[in-house]
Chains A and B, each alone.
Chain A
Amino acid sequence: MLHLTIEGREVEARGGCSILQAYVQAGETLVEGVGCMGQGVCGSCRVMVRLSGEKEVRTALACETLVQEGMQVAFLDYFTEATRHTYDLEDIGDSWQVLRTITDVFPEAPHCRHCSGCDRACPKDLEVQRGVNLAVEGKLAEASHVFDECVMCNLCTLACPESIRPNHLGLFVRRIVASQALRPANLMLRLRQVENGEMTIDFDAPGARPPA
């Protein structure tokens, strides 16, 4: 059995299990800071972890981090931000002005200090800072791909001294790209066919009935 500390409690755990599993197997209540329980996509189980004998504290997702002997773990609460970057995609009229739109909505984004705190905070190892800088330069497609696998855990937002909220900036850029530019031919054609009444459902077609 391994011995570790989670939320100040001494916990015993078998090797090979995640922090979340160790916590519930130790009989503790777990109804917050939990979501997908292992897939690593919901971004709920944010923790700070210090390994035995190390000074440095790193951030991680508890469902994806396996227990180690002597590990210390503290969960990070979600907080509600006092200010947020609000926008309505419908209001983005002239896409030639998209650079201005980005800095209007995220006025802190050009002030990136290049401290790389966001990069170190990201449990998915995304190049967050690069994504922020690309967005400010207008390289929207490239910026959007940086945030492809972002799970919106908000750890980069917690880490940013300029309050840029990098993950929300990344999502904003992604949403702009899709809503302004993605116009798939096969979808547009099918929509027209449906709207023209060319596509209807025959409830009595042979394939709509059970085989005899």
Chain B
Amino acid sequence: MPAGIPYEEARTRYQVGGQPRMRADDASVAELLRAWHPDHGAGARVALAVGVNRGEPCQPDLARHLQANALIDDVDIAGAQLTTTDVLVIGGGGGGCAAALTAAGEGARVILATKLRLGDSNTVMAEGGIQAAIGDDDSPQRHFEDTLRAGHFRGEPELVARMVMEGPDVIRWLIRLGMMFDQEEGQLMGGNLLRKKPGGATAARILSYRDYTGLEMMRVLREAVDLAPGIEVWNRCAAVELLSDERGRCAGAVLYNMEWRSFVLVRARAVVLATGGAGRLHLNAFPTSNHYGATADGLVLAYRLGARMRDLDSFQYHPTGIAHPPHLAGALISEAARSAGAKLLNGEGERFIDELQPRDVVASAILRECAQGRGIARDGQLGVLLDIPTLERENPGILAKRLVTVRHLAHKCGIDATQEPFLVYPTLHYQNGGAEVDVHGATAVPGLFCAGEVTGGIHGRNRLMGNALLDILSMGRRAGAKAASRDGAVPAIRAGIGHVHAWQRELTAAGLPLDARAPLLFPDYAHFDLQADAGLGSGAHARVVGGLR
């Protein structure tokens, strides 16, 4: 890691309420991204050697998982318990819940399987808010254009248009389910919802509940799913493989029940993958803001069954992850802080970027400061300052009222947020790409639907704050409804893992090893080995399973 300016020295240049100057800079946004964003540069991508995206670029760490062998073979699931349902939803975050609630509302029998517990997801961790164009100075058209522009015009206009037009209805749906939103004034009926402006947008469009919107959303969705009579929730059941029929359709999934330590085959008319992204793979050795379960499982399983992917080399590094103290590295400071006016300062005490630029631009600017020696070094960590104390001085009470989690985070960091700025560094936050889907979340594989972060196409190559929560709910609802409909669904005569055998032949032909397996299910440091846990193969060399599992 390059050297930085010692914290103590940088701290002498900082004062609460100071008016730092902006460092002169004539680099264009395109130059800044090309030179400093982790998606660019020599080691940023490799060509995939197998699968439908063969020859196309992919982030190298993710490619290893996409090109791995399956976790199981026929013999492992011989005699496994078998059950059937109409719709199998895999993933217990906001997207999975939206799909399950909608499918059940259409009369389908639904099983929602989740690796940890219902609600354990990135959704519950979302802080900033959800976008919906409801202001009188705003329109779905503006939302549409902002989303495309932030995504560098690489998003699918059809998908974006559906999402932005549904924004207001998604908010109504959430309110009907009992979710609260911040208001301009206290009146519940006839008041206005409070709107905030996200970086990269032309109007105030973020709707929120304090700065723990995801928590408010997820506890409502989880309760709704839990109490819905048509939905069975299977906690601690990880998807280890999809099931296919003789025509290559998706016919369900193989789940591993972590409590029984056994496999369960779920045959379903349709599967909705809402498994989230890849943050816990710590791509490019970055810290991450992501939930423990975000290990790209859905991407791996969908790709192996033949779903086409896109933008597998595009990730979002959120500008303001915690850099110090080290044990909180990667934890997120919500964009709500910059949205409210918090400034970024380098070790020279200068501002160096318009803080309300899109996330990839701001993150690149921070990486540049650090790489060029203007970052700040503290206990082996490098970063720049996020000036919350000045924000609080200029807006007394903002920490107590609007930035509650920022105050909590400062407490955990052992600093007084009214006096000390945070040391921040970009953190791996979001997978921009993923499975290609149509407006109903349908992939190219019949019977396989995807919703949320596991999909690509809406956010192009960079996502706006607040569009993730809207994406998971609008697409989750549509995928759930379509999966529940019986359009063209012919029940599979046989369901198995035949596609795995074809995949293994393809790996061998490409000279790839068969002993690398995926999905990972848990990050490396979880010390979990499915082969050992389930007693597969000889297992003799595997570690004795202990701890919390």
**B310 → A minimal CB distance (Å):** 17
**A124 → B minimal CB distance (Å):** 10
Bitwise, A131-175 to B at CB < 8 A (1) or not (0) is: 000000000000010001111100000000000000010010011
Is A205 positioned at the interface, with any CB of B under 8 Å from its CB? yes
Give 8 new A-B contacts, CB below 8 A, not counting A171-B178, A183-B190, A191-B172.
A29-B546, A29-B548, A33-B548, A36-B291, A37-B291, A39-B405, A152-B219, A177-B178
- Residues from chain B with a CB closer than 8 A to the CB of A16 are 325-327
> Which A residues fall within an 8 A CB radius of B?
7, 16-18, 21, 23-25, 27-42, 44, 64, 75, 78, 84, 86-89, 144, 148-152, 168, 171, 174-179, 181-187, 189-191, 194, 199-203, 205, 207-210
- Residues from chain A with a CB closer than 8 A to the CB of B212 are 41, 149
**A31-B223 in contact (CB<8A):** no
- Residues from chain B with a CB closer than 8 A to the CB of A75 are 548
**B292-A34 in contact (CB<8A):** yes
**A175-B135 in contact (CB<8A):** no
Known interface pairs A29-B526, A29-B548, A194-B168; A182-B145 also in contact (CB < 8 Å):
no
Known interface pairs A35-B292, A184-B183; A30-B227 also in contact (CB < 8 Å):
no
Of the 9-residue stretches B31-39, B136-144, B451-459, B488-496, which lies at the interface with chain A? B136-144
Residues B117-150 near A (CB distance < 8 A): 117, 119-120, 124-125, 132-136, 139-141, 144-145, 148-149
Within the complex, which residue of B165, B176, B215, B547 is in contact with A199, where a contact is CB–CB below 8 Å? B165
**A87-B172 in contact (CB<8A):** no
Is B80 positioned at the interface, with any CB of A under 8 Å from its CB? no
**A201-B125 in contact (CB<8A):** no
- Residues from chain A with a CB closer than 8 A to the CB of B181 are 178, 182, 184
Is B222 positioned at the interface, with any CB of A under 8 Å from its CB? yes
**A34-B548 in contact (CB<8A):** yes
Bound: A181/B191 CA distance, A:
11
Residues B141-167 near A (CB distance < 8 A): 141, 144-145, 148-149, 152-153, 157, 161, 164-165
**B191-A42 in contact (CB<8A):** no
A21 nearest in chain B by CB position: B327
**B193-A194 in contact (CB<8A):** no
Within the complex, which residue of B117, B145, B210, B548 is in contact with A7, where a contact is CB–CB below 8 Å? B548
Bitwise, B253-279 to A at CB < 8 A (1) or not (0) is: 000001000000000000000000000
- Residues from chain A with a CB closer than 8 A to the CB of B144 are 201, 208
